[in-house]
Amino acid sequence: MPSANARIVLTGAGGQFGQTLVACWPDSLLSQYELIPLMRGDLDIADAAAVHSTLDALQPALIINAAAYTAVDKAESEAEAAFAINERGVANLAAASTCPLIHLSTDFVFDGAASTPYAENAATAPLSVYGKSKLAGEKALLAQKPDAMIIRTSWLYSEYGANFVKTMLRLMSERDVLSIVNDQIGSPTSTHSLAAVVCSAASTRLDSAAMPKEPSGIFHWSDGASITWFDFALEIQTQALALGLLKSPCTLKPIPTSEYPTPAARPLYSVMSRARARAEFDCPTNTWQAELKRCLLASS
């Protein structure tokens, strides 16, 4: 069994990634480290005093921060709430921690003006309050803990919580025609594949305890596609019909972003290069279609 001080703290454990990580925590880590999942009710990372007292009590060997304000459109009118968690909350964790920290971030730090996959050192220029708050969190973390790891991801989905896949399944079962944006290009990411990368990063980071500067910095992870939301919806419907999750198809209509206005602007292109993560970590090799199938099977 893990020793009393061999703990890994997971913040944001109630989110879709957090629930996935708890469910698939690998035996290789379980034999050495106890995962301590903390939901917002257990720890509000925006509360600096609570962060300090919690980490002092737990004395973790590693922190995985999945806590975030993720209501992208709501953030446009709730900027203070978004920055409280996504920037100051991250800064609180950095200030209170004496151990390595892995932090999850987003493709929304980019403006979408590129046409080839973004590298980790590509210029950032977020379009939305959400993206700006996440970028501010990255900067706050690296300013205090330059040896931290940041893993940016995109279009995250799972069998848990609210996400594009679950929304599509519901709407496809309710409607005859569905309009889907067809000019935003990105890459879906299953929480299961992201969890595998985070676990590999955790193992690598803990094994590198004597060399605190390696590996560190920013990494990108997605399931490797370069598709539109319309393409994603088509594949969801095709697989859902084959698996019996939908009784009949609905008509999917491609539309431009201009016909689906939202409070927050989205990057029109947010595909990210996975080369650095694949070189450093033991990453899944499944196609994005295979990862989608795994989620749909888990949802059935």
CA dist 206 → 18, 23, 81 (Å): 20, 21, 33
Amino acid letter, residue 176: D
Cα(166)–Cα(236) distance, integer angstroms: 10
DSSP string across 36-65 = EEE-TTT--TT-HHHHHHHHHHH--SEEEE
Q: Indicate which residue of 69, 118, 130, 269 is catalytic.
A: 130
Whether 260 sits among the annotated catalytic residues: the reply is no
Cα(137)–Cα(22) distance, integer angstroms: 24
> 3-state DSSP helix/strand/coil percent for the chain, to nearest 5?
40, 15, 40
| Token pair recorded at residue 222 | 């997605």
Cα(196)–Cα(25) distance, integer angstroms: 9
Other beta carbons less than 10 A from residue 32's beta carbon = 15
Locus of tokens 């496809």:
172
Cis bond leading into 215, ω under 30°?
Answer: yes
Cβ-Cβ contacts under 8 Å for 100 (sequence gap 6 or more): 61, 62, 63, 147, 148, 149, 205, 206, 209, 212
* Catalytic residue annotation: 130
